[in-house]
Structures are given as structure tokens and as C-alpha cells.
Structure 1
Amino acid sequence: MTAPEVLLVYDKECPACDNYCRVVRIRKDIGTLRLVDAREDSEVMAEITARGLDIDQGMVLKLDGQLYYGADAIHALALISSRSGVLNRLNYWMFRSPRLSAVAYPILRWARNLLLKLLGKRKINNLKQPGNERF
């Protein structure tokens, strides 16, 4: 029997997001974490878009068929994360609380958007909102 696949959908062109997602580890008893670039067409991106979730405003964790978005995603990820390594312990400590996740996530999102703007990267704009193509 194979371990269930847990999907983490994020913007791979954001260096901060990419580094975070590559470092985070989930416990082996939960399943296997698969990173999905939100800039590529995929089944899960179609599902995210169909649900009206703006990937530019939050990463998505798909666990047991359920989508967790933004602060809820980072909180759920902390709860299923491994405690091995300094960064994974720090991730758990920072985001194990739904309240702290809800406060910290908008700050992280703002920093991501600023970083992408400084790097000259375009938004993903999966919901095709007019005027949202550029920063």
C-alpha cells in the first residue's frame, strides 16, 4: 500500500516560497509531499481556480481531498510537518496556532508580492482578473 499524496501548490518563481516549500517536510505517517508549481497547468490548479481561490493570495495544501488555502494551508502544513531539523521545528512552532497563522500569513503574502515586484515577476492571475496581470 502506497502512502497518500499530499499536494502543496505554490508559486515556484517566488524564491522565498520555493525555499520554504523545499525545506518543509511532512511526517512519513501522513504521506508523501508533492510540490506543484502553480504556474503550470495541472488538475489541482484547475480545481483551485474552479473553487475561486486566487493562488496569488495564498498557497494551497491538498490533503485527503480537502483544499486548505492561505493561512489555513500553512497551519495545516505545520500540524502535519516533521519536527526534524531547525527549520521544520520553527515552522511548527510559528504556525501551529490558527491565530498566529492568520496574523503572520498576510505579512508573508505582502513580502512575497513585494519580492515578486522587485524581481519583475508577473502574478499568476489564475482567476483572470483584469488589471491583475502586472504588479
Structure 2
Amino acid sequence: MTVTREILLVYDRECPACDNYCRMVRIRRDLGELKLVDAREHSEVMAEITGQGLDIDQGMVLKLDGQLYYGADAIHALALISSRSGFFNRLNFWLFRSRRLSAVSYPLLRWCRNLLLKWLGKTRINNLEVPGRERF
């Protein structure tokens, strides 16, 4: 009997770029099942993220084997466990397999995300309840 691990990817589903990325990324089947979690909905994992002081507006979170990977670390870890099937997943692996490249590119991606959400008139998730941070 094979036991599949549940691997959680927590992100802002209202962000079109984040949503497309998370729906397209595939992990290797032998590692488990990737479950997408909308950070705007109350969940146990969001309570854990907030409890760790992680601002979901500043980075997605990958939960793998009980460990939380945040922002650039999340995209790097996701690249390492991703499938290499299809153009998108091969490109994702190539771009983010390097911890250094992930650390450099993630802030730019986050800036683009924040700009897109501001342009779309979306509010922040504000899981850390920072005063004065309602909109992008």
C-alpha cells in the first residue's frame, strides 16, 4: 500500500498570475499530492502561517513534511519537487532550482504581483492585521 503525502501550496487565489502559476505547476507523483489552498479562506494551515508571523501578502507558502517554506524558499522547494513534464514545469525547474536565483527573482515577481493586484483593485489578505495596509 502506497501512502501519499499531502503537500500544501498556500497562495492568493485572487491574483491571476499566482493562480495560473499554482494551477500549472505539477509535482512528481512519487512525492504525494499537491493541494492548493486559497489564503483568503480560513484554514488550519493559514492559522499556522499567521502563528509563525509569515505575511502571506509577501509570499506564498509551501507546506511539506510539516515544514513551512515561505516566499523564495517556497518557489525553490517547489521547483525541486516538480515534475519535469511539459514546457512550463521544465522552465519552472530551470528558473527556480537555484536558491540564489529564486532569492533574486522572487522579490521582482512579488512586486509585479502587488502591482497587478493594485491595478485590479484587490485588497490585501492582511493575515497579520497590519494597520493601514488595506489596499495595495
| Same structural fold, with TM-score higher than 0.5 when normalized by the shorter chain | yes
Where structure 2 has 5 or more consecutive residues not aligned to the other structure, the ranges are none
Q: Which runs of 4+ in 1 moved over 3 A?
A: none
- SS in structure 2 of the partner of residue 8 of structure 1: strand
Query: In the alignment, what sits opposite 1:68?
Result: 69
Q: Name the structure 2 match of 1:130.
A: 131
Amino acid aligned to 1:62: K
Task: Please show how residues 6-85 of structure 1 align to structure 2 within 5 Å.
Answer: 6-85=7-86
TM-score normalised by L of structure 2: 0.98
C-alpha RMSD of the superposition: 0.5
Counterpart amino acid of residue 57 in structure 1: Q
TM-score, normalised by the number of residues in structure 1: 0.99
CA drift at 1:131: 0.7
TM superposition shift of 1:134: 1.3
Shift of 1:2: 3.0
- CA distances 1:72-103 after superposition (whole Å, capped 9, x unpaired): 00000000000000000000000000000000
% same residue: 79
What number of residue pairs does the alignment pair up?
135
What secondary structure does 1:62 align onto?
Answer: strand
SS of match in other structure, 1:29: helix
Distance 1:20 1:62 in 2: 17
Match of 2:88 in 1: 87
What is the CA deviation profile of residues 12-55 of structure 1, one whole-angstrom value per residue up to 9, with x for unaligned ones? 00000000000000001110000000000000000000000000
Give 1:133 shift: 1.1
Gapped runs of 5+ residues in structure 1? none
